[in-house]
Amino acid sequence: MTQRIGFIGLGRMGRPMASNLCRRGFDLVVFDVVPSAMAEATRLGARTASGVSGVASEATIVLTMLPDSAVVEEVLCGGGGVLTHAAPGTLMVEMSTIDPRVTDRIAAAAIAKGCAFVDAPVGRLASHAERGECLFMVGADTDDFARVRPLLDAMGTTIHYCGPVGSGIRTKLVNNYLAIISCQLNAEALALSQRFGLSLARTLEVIHGTTATNGQLKINWPAKVLAGDTEPGFTIDLAHKDLTLIVEAANAVKVPVPIAAAAREAFTVARGHGSGDRDFSAMVDVLCEIARIEKPRLK
């Protein structure tokens, strides 16, 4: 059966992902609440729908990349949502970072309507999406995973099958917990190093030679904040959103996460400082600005 692909949500991540599907020759119909966001996909050969219902009525597989849990649930399960208009057998692929309890509710609603559901949240940044280098963490029935795999391969280079539906988003939250917490730890450590008057290069040389190092500090930060680049790849606002999801999801299963809660408040301070739209590596700049410390930079 020829698959007709629908894509809802053409924002910073969704637009390049949909564009890569077009480039790979998939039959694509798209929708976004911002009409101009559909222009590039249209130039590449996608058709546009007048709304969610138009995508759902045309597509056999519907992908969504949306900003938060409430929007995802409304688009998929609301009165005018995908499930209202989709034919039985339609496969929904949800790629946003949302509350896993919302994922579970949507999956149950899809099954009740005779549809299928896959959660496939995205790792990596918008720059990777532009190059077709996304990483996906997939929760799915094995048959549904096989059905959606060609689409994921068209948008990314690394696909992890994490288990049944709901496993993908839960894996994403665990991964983002460590990635975001690392930024806060690094910010505090480097601010302290700056206050001590230490050489940043020598301090990093020591850290990278011990178990104190981490991927953010060793890989991401030298190309971002330590090079003076705080243009957003992943914003402080989004990091704060994910920490909130992590804390709430952990509370729901009675796992204490005091470090996540403390880090979330640090990100709250950064947002109050007016820095929510900066790259999350800029947490160190925010801390240095507040403490009136010279910002760490590799010359």
The residues that are catalytic are 172
CB contact at 8 A, 63 and 151? yes
Q: What φ, ψ does residue 50 adopt, rounded to 5°?
A: -80, -10
Query: Please, where are the H alpha helices in the chain?
Result: 14-23, 39-43, 52-58, 69-77, 82-85, 100-112, 126-130, 142-155, 167-196, 200-208, 215, 236-252, 258-272, 283-291
Q: What φ, ψ does residue 136 adopt, rounded to 5°?
A: -115, 140
CB contact at 8 A, 151 and 61? yes
**In 3-state terms, what secondary structure has residue 298?**
coil
Residues in Cβ contact with 258 at an 8 Å cutoff, skipping those fewer than 6 apart: none
**In 3-state terms, what secondary structure has residue 134?**
strand
Determine the Cα–Cα distance for residues 9 and 150; give it in Å rounded to an integer: 20
**In 3-state terms, what secondary structure has residue 92?**
strand
Classify burial at 261, counting beta carbons within 10 Å of its beta carbon; exposed 0-12, middle 13-18, buried 19 or more: middle
Q: What φ, ψ does residue 62 adopt, rounded to 5°?
A: -115, 120
CB contact at 8 A, 84 and 59? no
